[in-house]
Structure 1
Amino acid sequence: MRQALILGAKLAFVVGAFYFVFQHISVGEVRRVLATAQPGWLALAAGLFALSKWLSARRLNYFFRAIGVPLTEGENLRLYWLGMYYNLFLPGGIGGDGYKVYLLRQRFPGKTTALVRALLLDRVSGVLALGVLAGVLLAFVPAVPLPWRGLVLAGVPVGVAASYWASGRFFPEFQPLFGRAGWLGLGVQGAQVLCAWAILAGTGTSSQIVDYLMVFLVSSVVAVLPLTVGGIGAREVTFVLGAQVLHLDAAVSVTVSLTFYLITAAVALPGAVFSFKAPAAPAP
């Protein structure tokens, strides 16, 4: 019942979000932008997104190995793709991260708490990378007053230092991985920013690129929040509001958001194959 209520609330949020979005733009405007999309650029965007997920899986495996969960890269990649599938297509159930814990604790008894901590820190490191990239990009957004841009840019190393301290304070077993995980996190988010850039190029957009990418990073932070089904709706609202603040084309903004979601779904869908395989036998 609780899961059903949560899913119902998320679906209601999605409906409300799209009602808000299409009060500000018409479906015809989005269709017009989509009609100009070039398949080659969209294929490149899909490849860049898949690369970001591969890098993300590598980062998570470092965390697993730090707690004595030695998965091969192949095992970890299959588990990661399965989690992507559950996160996107079965949001009202156990969820991707929860299913990873469920499978791995059968193979590695007594590791449940450590697995939860590893998955939590994996999410946190991703948000940190988003913050770093957003802070750097903000320095190149003309609409933001120069003093604010300088302040945010100066705050990036302070935030990284504070995160390093917090990792040692709350996740000491993972602190030796801070640098490696941080670089991989930047690689993950950087590949997704390039994915958004490829989508923009595919629609023929050539102006205010940094502004669009800045809104994309903010929408990625919002999409992490458990408000909707797979982040859909939350990204679109963020893009519409960002378009108003930065004077962007709202139709292009929403098209980028919807296309990114479709690419996410297409890349995650192969994870369904692994959902039909029995979990690995417990380790002796």
Structure 2
Amino acid sequence: MVATDTNDPPPAAPAAPWRRPAALLLKLAFMAGALWLVARHLDLPALARTLRGARPGWLALAAGLFTASKLLSSVRLNRFFGVVGISLSEGYNLRLYWLGMFYNLFLPGGIGGDGYKVYLLGRQFPGRRALIFRALLLDRLSGMVALLVLLALLAAVPAAELQLAGAGGLGLALPPWWRAVPLGLLPLGVALSYGLGCWVFSEFRGAFGRTSWQALGVQGAQVLCAWALLAALGAAGGPVLPYLLVFLASSIAAVLPLTIGGLGARELTFLYGAKLFALSAPVAVSISVLFYVITALVSLVGAWVRVEQK
């Protein structure tokens, strides 16, 4: 008789063979539709001119900030692993993290980066597969909470440049009481997320403090990356806050499993965000395109990473 580990979840029923390719086709269709809408409502020659004028020095800074955010994100994930007894060296965890980035972006039809981590670490730490999956899920959720916190904080910043586009292309300034909305919702949302986290992920409670700050650092570095892209496009001297708000909203949209690597979802969010805040659509979409290119180039490093079973 073959012994089984009772700590692992029971094996799930095998999925229908058509589900994975069907999901991939749906993602491709949504991505193609989103990009078609962007191209249909955008001045493509103006977009090309904007991209050609990007300054290399600022692009290099943006790439460095994005890379720093991923390094910190890797440390945060390893913290979640550590509190439940999955001990990985930072170097090994970083290689596994970068390989996962490559899988998530370039191999969407096969096993994803998180799926590979669950498979590999599940073999190295028998009986911990459920904990590994929960650590990865909590890592994603903590990043989403950090995005929402930064979005609320930026939305509460008093800025004359933050206005909505009105009829006839005239700007409608947000009323002064608007700042009270995100400021009032912020502590409520943080308290609710902490309470739910302690209830649903009680075994990770010891990591909540440090990883919460790390999550804010990850998303903060990516906001600075967006600011550097604005500077690269020569638009940092104009209204900055609305672009950063739209960038955070696009990051939330990119997390949703609707497209591959967020391509299409980000661009669509930037296009309609530019219309909402009366921003330059070519500049807004250029930020999205450049951010995706940086993400792809940094993730491509994972193709040369080798992760041996420990």
TM tier, smaller = over 0.9
Deviation at 1:185, TM superposition (A): 0.4
Q: Secondary structure at the match of 1:232?
A: coil
Structure 1 residues 81 and 149 mapped into 2: Cα distance closer, same or farther (>3 Å)? Answer: same
User: Are positions 1:53 and 2:70 aligned together?
Assistant: yes
Contact 1:236 1:254 in 2 (8 A): yes
Counterpart CA distance in 2 for 1:197 and 1:174 is: 33
Deviations 1:198-220 (A, max 9, x none): 00000000211010000000000
Q: Which amino acid aligns with 1:216?
A: F
Which 10-residue stretch deviates more, 152-161 or 229-238? 152-161
Deviation at 1:49, TM superposition (A): 0.1
Deviation at 1:278, TM superposition (A): 5.7
Counterpart CA distance in 2 for 1:218 and 1:159 is: 17
Structure 1 residues 278 and 188 mapped into 2: Cα distance closer, same or farther (>3 Å)? Answer: closer
Deviations 1:234-271 (A, max 9, x none): 00000011011110100101000000000000111010
Deviation at 1:178, TM superposition (A): 1.2
TM-score between the two structures when normalised by the length of structure 2: 0.88
Counterpart CA distance in 2 for 1:199 and 1:60 is: 27
Contact 1:103 1:279 in 2 (8 A): no
Aligned pairs for 1:150-161 (under 5 A) are: 150-161=180-191
Residue 68 (structure 1) aligns with: 85
Q: Larger radius of gyration, structure 1 or 2?
A: 2
User: Are positions 1:235 and 2:266 aligned together?
Assistant: yes
Q: Secondary structure at the match of 1:91?
A: coil
Counterpart CA distance in 1 for 2:90 and 2:64 is: 19
Q: Secondary structure at the match of 1:47?
A: helix
Match of 1:149 among 171, 174, 179: 179
Deviation at 1:14, TM superposition (A): 1.1
**RMSD value over aligned CA atoms?**
1.1
Counterpart CA distance in 2 for 1:177 and 1:107 is: 22
Counterpart CA distance in 2 for 1:223 and 1:62 is: 24
Aligned pairs for 1:64-213 (under 5 A) are: 64-140=81-157, 142-143=162-163, 144-205=174-235, 206-213=237-244
Match of 2:302 among 263, 267, 271: 271
TM-score between the two structures when normalised by the length of structure 1: 0.96
Counterpart CA distance in 1 for 2:225 and 2:68 is: 10
Counterpart CA distance in 1 for 2:178 and 2:125 is: 48
Work out the number of aligned pairs and report it. 279
Residue 33 (structure 2) aligns with: 16
Deviation at 1:35, TM superposition (A): 1.4
Contact 2:54 2:233 in 1 (8 A): yes
User: Are positions 1:255 and 2:272 aligned together?
Assistant: no
Deviations 1:3-48 (A, max 9, x none): 1111111111111001100111122111110111000000000000
Q: Which amino acid aligns with 2:221?
A: A
Which 10-residue stretch deviates more, 125-134 or 168-177? 168-177
Counterpart CA distance in 1 for 2:273 and 2:183 is: 20
Runs of 4+ residues over 2 Å off in structure 1: 144-149
Aligned pairs for 1:27-38 (under 5 A) are: 27-38=44-55
Counterpart CA distance in 1 for 2:307 and 2:230 is: 41
Q: Secondary structure at the match of 2:261?
A: coil
Counterpart CA distance in 2 for 1:115 and 1:23 is: 43
Deviations 1:46-80 (A, max 9, x none): 00000000000000000001111100000000000
Counterpart CA distance in 2 for 1:38 and 1:239 is: 21
Determine which structure has the larger helix proportion and give its number.
1
Contact 2:96 2:307 in 1 (8 A): no
Counterpart CA distance in 2 for 1:137 and 1:218 is: 11
Deviation at 1:93, TM superposition (A): 1.5
Unpaired segments of 5 or more residues in structure 1?
none
User: Are positions 1:41 and 2:58 aligned together?
Assistant: yes
Counterpart CA distance in 2 for 1:279 and 1:243 is: 46
Structure 1 residues 95 and 165 mapped into 2: Cα distance closer, same or farther (>3 Å)? Answer: same
Unpaired segments of 5 or more residues in structure 2?
1-17, 164-173
Residue 26 (structure 1) aligns with: 43
